[in-house]
Amino acid sequence: MIKVENLKKRFGKLQVLHGVSFDTEDGKCTAIMGPNASGKTTTIKSILGLVVPDEGTITVNGMDVRKGFQYRNLIGYMPQIPTFPENITPRELINLTIKLRSYEKNYSEELIGLFEIEEHLDKPFSALSGGTRQKVNAVLAFMFDVPILILDEPTVGLDPVSSRKLKNLIKERKSRGVDVIITSHIVSEIEQLADDMVFLLEGQVIFEGPVKEAIEQTQGEDLEDAIAKLIQRQQAA
Amino acid sequence: MQLRNLSSGSRQLSLFEHYINDIVRGKWFIAYTVLLFALIYAVLMFSFETSQAVVGVMNLVIFIVPAVGLFFTSMYYYSRREFMEFILSQPVSRTFVYFSFYLAMSLAMIFSFILGVSVPMFIQGFAPEAIKMSLWGVLLNMIFVAISLMVSVLADDRVRGLGTVLLLWFFFTIFYDAVLTAVIIYFRDYPIEKFIPFVIAINPVDDFRISTLLSTDIAAMLGYSGAVIKHFFGRFFGVLYVAFLQSLWVLIPFLVGLWRFRKKDF
């Protein structure tokens, strides 16, 4: 479970987060949504300790993220369009990640089979397509039995078959009680996967709750319509 | 969820292994080592006396090693900047990541130095000088990797970072000598030698030159600042003093870089 309270962050003159607060629950998928530059990536990076917040607290399963790094052992992270070094191979990267983690068991073999990337394991990243890189990215995030998954635009660059496999994987982990946090611009994907939604606009949470509630509250036809109405309502206020 | 008891040391070792593997198989690293070997070997072929050999090698080293240490560290850091985000999203401390990066880069540069400078000196029969030069070379490499890493961590922008290391290289290898010579000539009627022990602290390249020449006892080539250091401290304490300054040149940039790295947004 992740608890974010009154998170504030400024980059130079730009205030990116204005007191963001929300909770996520085990066994549920929470979508962090919002237009470009609304603070989604900064929020995720703050949870991972990559960005140091100016104010506020974040706890991951009760551990304050500012007071150590061990909590990151609980998180599988899939960054958006990752830039892996061009000269190293997926096998080397997978092995490095295994060494940096404290898990007895990993599911890398099963996932490599699932995404059919065996033949690419010993090629340097410079020789891999965007889609294959994204599959390696998925293997790295899902290969441990972690209680929390943070997925930043996970299906970008994937073909429909692989995208479907990844979504099934997310659903399976969720059913096993994993706390999944996802960002995506594909509304249909969020409708399929997410239970809850945190909607950010200019660094503020303008909606937090179940996806269905967002549709009901705004009397939208679907989630896309609900999002449009949420933004309009906020801009009018 | 089965967790194994993995010590921080073991994680640090895997990260260090990753960085060193990544660096030493880079084409630029192999090219640098081979080129350095060839240059030093060529200089030594035309050196018939020890002093000639040491000064010839030293003059090449003080131009090449700072430049390569500064540029390669900076370029490697910026090329791995985004991958650093992936590493930092793993359960490792920032101090460990910084230390592994610094250690791997320093050891790679030292390895190049030993192969490219010390080995040809040994082959050509300058073994005692090769050992002394290697010891000071270790410090020289560690200094410039630390300075470059500090600059790269402080400057988010690659162009600004590389521009800064270029300026530093110019200052340490060219401007400093010119300015010092001008100051000595301008103030020749004043007892400026009293300030020399402080002035040489400004330039680690000068420290390397003085420590190498003092330890190999090639006094004729010491130059003004080296002669003053020898006169002030004697040979033994002069070497110790310069070694102390060089240690500070490793420690201060390393710690400033670490301080910034721990607070940096990725």
pLDDT in tens, B44-83: 988 888 888 888 999 899 999 999 999 999 999 999 999 9
Across chain A, what does the average pLDDT equal? Answer: 93
d(CA A140, CA A166): 13
Distance from first CA to last CA of chain A, Å, rounded? Answer: 32
A90–chain B nearest CA distance, Å: 13
pLDDT, tens digit (0-9, with 9 covering 90-100), for A91-150? 999 999 999 997 888 999 999 999 999 999 999 999 999 999 999 999 999 999 999 999
Specify the length of chain B in residues: 266
pLDDT, tens digit (0-9, with 9 covering 90-100), for B123-134? 988 888 899 999
pLDDT, tens digit (0-9, with 9 covering 90-100), for A45-91? 999 999 999 999 999 999 999 998 999 999 999 998 778 999 899 99
ipTM of the complex: 0.90
Cα separations in angstroms, B157 against A51, B4, B21, B154: 17, 39, 26, 9
C-alpha dihedral over B229, B232, B238, B240, to 10 degrees? -130
Q: What single-letter amino acid sits at B222?
A: L
B132 near B215, Cβ under 8 Å?
A: yes
A14 touches chain B (CB under 8 A): no
- Per the structure block, which two tokens stand in for A184? 């995506």
Contact pairs from chain A to chain B, CB under 8 Å:
84
* Statement: residue B145 has pLDDT above 90: yes
B209 near B66, Cβ under 8 Å?
A: no
* Statement: residue B174 has pLDDT above 70: yes
β-bridge partners, A30: A181, A196
pLDDT given for residue B196 in this prediction: 78
Which of B4, B15, B263 has the CB atom closest to A103's CB atom?
B4
Q: Which of B142, B115, B139, B119 is nearest to B215 (CA)?
A: B139
B133 near B54, Cβ under 8 Å?
A: yes
Tell me the percentage of chain B whose pLDDT exceeds 90.
59
d(CA A182, CA A186): 11
- CATH code of the domain occupying A2-236: 3.40.50.300
* Residues of B whose CB is below 8 A from A77: 89
**Mean predicted confidence (pLDDT) in B172-188:** 85
A119 near A43, Cβ under 8 Å?
A: no
B146 near B63, Cβ under 8 Å?
A: no
Q: DSSP letters along B17-35, please? A: HHHHHHHHTSHHHHHHHHH
pLDDT tier for residue B26 given thresholds of 50, 70 and 90: confident
A195 near A28, Cβ under 8 Å?
A: yes
A193–chain B nearest CA distance, Å: 24
Give the best residue of B86, B94, B266 to mutate against chain A (max A CB count within 10 A): B86
**Mean predicted confidence (pLDDT) in B17-23:** 94
- For residue A149, the SS3 value is strand
* Statement: residue A237 has pLDDT above 90: no
* Residues of B whose CB is below 8 A from A71: 91
pLDDT given for residue B52 in this prediction: 85
Phi, psi of A206 (to 5 degrees): -105, -10
**Mean predicted confidence (pLDDT) in B79-104:** 94
The model's pTM is 0.90
Domain-wise residue ranges, chain A? 2-236
pLDDT tier for residue B236 given thresholds of 50, 70 and 90: confident
d(CA B193, CA A71): 57
Close Cβ partners of A4 (under 8 Å, ≥ 6 residues apart): A20, A21, A22, A23, A43, A46, A47, A56, A57, A58
